[in-house]
A and B are shown apart, each in its own frame.
Chain A
């Protein structure tokens, strides 16, 4: 099993989309700097940042098992190497997003334009919470991509629902995330917090189901 070869496939596919996403985040930081004096805008910026990272991760996870797996397995029928490279890709996705979170936290702290616990780059619990969130979102996207990609409408509906949810209930969702982070943040034993363990377990179950399906996959 040569995972490196399969990873290169991911690299050539995603190098431009991730670069664009990174530049997009730099743009958002720039906007934050100029609009930081307007209190209302701050709230919406936070909603926008959290929703864009979650939707981006979901789309990449979905793409992994609705399009990219077919591209790869049609040129090379190594199912397991694709599965493991996709899993590594999910970790790389987490690392990239954590770097972006760090970038937000550091710049917001450094230039003092938005103070928020959502991007507190000094506390490790923030990274653990985000890592598990991105892990489950990626796994969920992959799961839907693998089992429901033939229902083209479904993915559009899911993405539309996510966008609508963030537009209409963005402040509630951010508030919820804020409270969740706050409760875990204040708890020194955040590693054994119930929501984190639950999310992590669900992610592992989804990954296990994907593994078993990919093993027997006839593309």
Chain B
């Protein structure tokens, strides 16, 4: 059981501060997803919070101890970045042996179970794996490490949709069995929404919104119906996104709907449904761009 505290993290390149005042406490046994555009520096934030690079300002504490260059506590944290790789001639089973020396809670049987499921031959070398198998293998290493804090940079990003689905199912059940803190950036947040407890939205190196997954489902709703009808009903409602297809208008509102509101919309044949998290992110980013933030 571990807690990761990030205090005012900033990082600069040539006086250009690309990560600004990142403050967040990653609590025990929770799963966090970090969502951001490709230029949001989310990978660099992971590098900072895992102690891979040092912050220019601020500090990261793992269980109360400064993390950077602290070898005594680093085995509690496993970071699978998109740059994680192994020498091409190493066999998969040797990688497992290696991981067992690096992580005291390494679950070898589970690692073999997963590679069998994803049809990865333990005798094959790392270089002989195709990119989808490599990305799965790295995901497996993160899971089987059973480190108190496991950090993934877009886990199984190169795997196909079926393998991703399978992997996330394994991730969910493994977390149920061995609860621990997981932090991941992802481009597939809607495939993970049943797993993730907290979502962090990042833009240009800044944390601009955080949500609990259940809150995001309540706070943001889609309303969809005939354009003229819907337009006449949304006065005073905070609309963050609009999509018009033919005569049908769909709007995303940022508001908890009361029973009376729901009845009113239903009376006018307005559909109400959940907004995918990815869409919430896109609308919020668009708003920031409109405001010039």
Contact = CB atoms under 8 A, between A and B. Distances in A.
A13 B83 CA distance: 18
Interface residues of A, number: 25
Nearest to B81: A74
A17 B89 contact: yes
A168 interface: no
Contact of A219 (B52, B86, B102): B52
B53 interface: yes
Contacts of A4: 101
Contact of A12 (B53, B74, B85, B98): B98
B117 interface: no
A70 B83 contact: yes
A5 B97 CA distance: 11
Nearest to A73: B52
Interface in B116-153: none
A67 B87 contact: yes
B90 A75 contact: no
Interface string B223-256: 0000000000000000000000000000000000
B94 A79 contact: no
A53 interface: no
Contact of A70 (B79, B85, B89, B94): B85
A70 B53 CA distance: 13
Given A8-B98, A77-B51, A218-B54, A71 B86 contact: yes
A218 B44 CA distance: 11
B90 A77 contact: no
Nearest to A219: B52
Contact of B84 (A2, A67, A75): A75
A2 B86 contact: no
B50 A77 contact: yes
A213 interface: no
Interface of B: 47, 50-54, 69, 71, 74, 79, 81, 83-87, 89-90, 94-95, 97-99, 101-102
